Structure formats: structure tokens, C-alpha cells
């Protein structure tokens, strides 16, 4: 039976986040360098976005490059930035065909000028697409995002634009990079690692976490659907008891 047919389309997560892990190990297993793994990860990205759009998921966020990734060897970082630019240009027709609106979060201004330019062009071209929002987390770290949020809220308090007593969860949500996205319902991490790695810490507060041993370059639609099916077999209680949920 087609796995997609097992999915209840009335209970799909609104927002799925993915930590795309395992490119280096995949390449090493083939006797190649890490860059080879990154280059062969595009099919996994394409399959995941298309699978999400096909079952009417509203948003998908991919952890593409963390603030800590700047500490990797310069050759790998430079290659990743070049790959980002080339991939955005190559995938634009696919984004348009599938109604994908592209967005990005993180310290975008820290990216090379070519990468920033390519991102702006894709943002502009896809801004009216409405089937699904694809957010790329680039030069992103959740702790940095939270620090930035606190600073911006503090400035408003100091400037008397906001009263201290008015600060609540909505205030924080509205100052995060992801202010225009719903909270994450499902977080997927590939390659067998079971860590969040400074990714969307606030937004993952009540997310279901799904870990798979599949290395990211091998991740395909069927694996994405496996994660959705697993998600739908869980009971999401949000602090309540099972009996309360049943009622």
C-alpha cells in the first residue's frame, strides 16, 4: 500500500522542521570527500518539499547552515555557499511549479554577497506562491535568535514602546525570526543522531521529535511519509492527561 494513502490528511502537521544530517558520513562511505555528500543532498531536499506540499503541510523549515558551521574548514564553507547559490537558481522553476514560497531565517547578512543576492532574487520570484512556505535556516542558531529577540524587546521597553507587564509568549513569538510561521509540530533529524543542535529551541517546545538512521542524501518521500505516519500515531497532550484529550 502506498504510504501516502495511509496518511490522514485532516491531521497533518502544519509545520515540519528538518535537521539534514549525514552528508559527510554518506560521502565517506563512498570514499569521497564531504562536499560530494552536500552536492548529492539536493534530491532529498526536493523530495521532502514536494512530499510536504502533496499532503498540504503549510510550512517546512530546513536547517541548512548553522552559526557553528562557520567553524568548519574554509574549503567546505566556501563550497557550501557556492552550492547554495547554484541550487537556488537551479530549483527556481521547481519552486514556481509547486507553489513554493521561499523564506530564510538567521544572520543572512553574514552570508557572502552572491548568496544574499541569490536569496533575494528567489524571495522576490516566489513571494506570491501560496501552496507551502519553505524556510531555509542559514547562519542560524537558536540561542542567537533568542538573544536578538530579548534585545529588541528590551529596546522597546526602554523607549516606552512596550510595558514590561505586557510581555508574554505572543510578544516573544512576534519578535522571533519565525514570527510569520506556526510553531513546529514535527521535527525530523536524519543520520541517527538524537540532538536538537541549537535549532528552533523556542519553536520546538511542544514538537514531536522523529529520529531516523537514514543519511540525508538517501532521504526520500517514503521516509518523509514514515515520519508523518509516526507523528499521527502519537498522542499530543500539551500538558494534559490522556483522558482530557479523549474528552
How open is the CA angle 245-203-34, to the nearest 5 degrees?
Answer: 125
Query: Is 79 annotated as a binding-site member?
Result: no
Cβ neighbours around 115 below 10 Å, total:
22
Query: Is 166 annotated as a binding-site member?
Result: no
CA dihedral 187, 188, 189, 191 (to 10 degrees): 170
Query: Is 70 annotated as a binding-site member?
Result: yes
Query: Is 197 annotated as a binding-site member?
Result: yes
Query: Is 67 annotated as a binding-site member?
Result: yes
In the DSSP assignment, the letter for residue 227 is H
Query: Is 66 annotated as a binding-site member?
Result: yes
In the DSSP assignment, the letter for residue 182 is P
Query: Is 142 annotated as a binding-site member?
Result: no
Query: Is 38 annotated as a binding-site member?
Result: yes
31: buried, middle or exposed (CB in 10 Å: 19+, 13-18, 0-12)? exposed
Query: Is 57 annotated as a binding-site member?
Result: no
3-state helix, strand, coil in the chain (%, to 5): 50, 15, 35
Residues classed as catalytic: 21, 69
Query: Is 21 annotated as a binding-site member?
Result: yes
Query: Is 196 annotated as a binding-site member?
Result: yes
In the DSSP assignment, the letter for residue 89 is H
How open is the CA angle 61-92-103, to the nearest 5 degrees?
Answer: 30
Q: Which residues are annotated as a binding site for substrate?
A: 22-26, 34, 38, 66-68, 70, 72, 189, 195-197
Q: Which residues are annotated as a binding site?
A: 21-26, 34, 38, 66-68, 70, 72, 189, 195-197, 208
Q: Which residues are annotated as a binding site for Mg(2+)?
A: 21, 208
Amino acid at each position: 500500500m502506498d504510504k501516502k494513502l495511509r496518511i490522514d490528511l485532516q491531521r497533518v502537521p502544519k509545520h515540519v522542521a528538518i535537521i539534514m544530517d549525514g552528508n559527510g558520513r554518506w560521502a565517506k562511505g563512498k570514499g569521497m570527500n564531504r562536499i560530494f555528500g552536500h552536492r548529492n543532498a539536493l534530491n532529498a531536499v526536493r523530495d521532502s518539499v514536494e512530499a510536504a506540499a502533496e499532503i498540504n503541510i503549510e510550512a517546512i523549515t530546513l536547517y541548512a547552515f548553522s552559526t557553528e558551521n562557520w567553524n568548519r574548514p574554509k574549503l567546505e564553507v566556501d563550497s557550501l555557499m557556492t552550492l547554495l547559490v547554484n541550487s537556488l537558481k537551479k530549483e527556481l522553476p521547481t519552486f514556481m511549479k509547486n507553489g513554493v514560497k521561499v523564506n530564510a531565517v538567521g544572520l543572512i547578512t553574514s552570508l557572502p554577497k552572491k548568496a544574499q543576492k541569490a536569496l533575494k532574487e528567489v524571495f522576490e520570484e516566489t513571494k506570491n506562491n501560496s501552496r507551502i512556505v519553505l524556510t531555509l535556516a542559514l547562519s542560524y542558531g537558536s540561542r542567537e535568535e533568542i538573544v536578538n529577540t530579548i534585545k529588541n524587546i528590551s529596546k522597546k521597553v526602554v523607549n516606552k514602546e512596550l510595558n514590561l507587564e505586557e510581555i508574554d509568549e505572543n510578544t516573544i513569538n512576534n519578535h522571533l525570526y519565525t514570527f510569520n510561521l506556526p510553531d513546529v509540530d514535527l521535527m525530523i533529524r536524519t543520520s541517527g543522531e538524537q540532538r536538537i543542535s541549537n535549532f528552533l529551541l523556542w519553536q520546538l517546545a511542544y514538537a514531536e521529535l522523529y529520529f531516523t538512521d537514514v543519511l540525508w542524501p538517501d532521504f526520500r518521500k517514503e521516509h518523509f511519509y514514515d515520519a508523518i505516519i509516526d507523528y499521527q500515531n502519537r498522542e499530543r497532550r500539551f500538558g494534559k492527561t490522556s483522558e482530557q484529550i479523549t474528552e
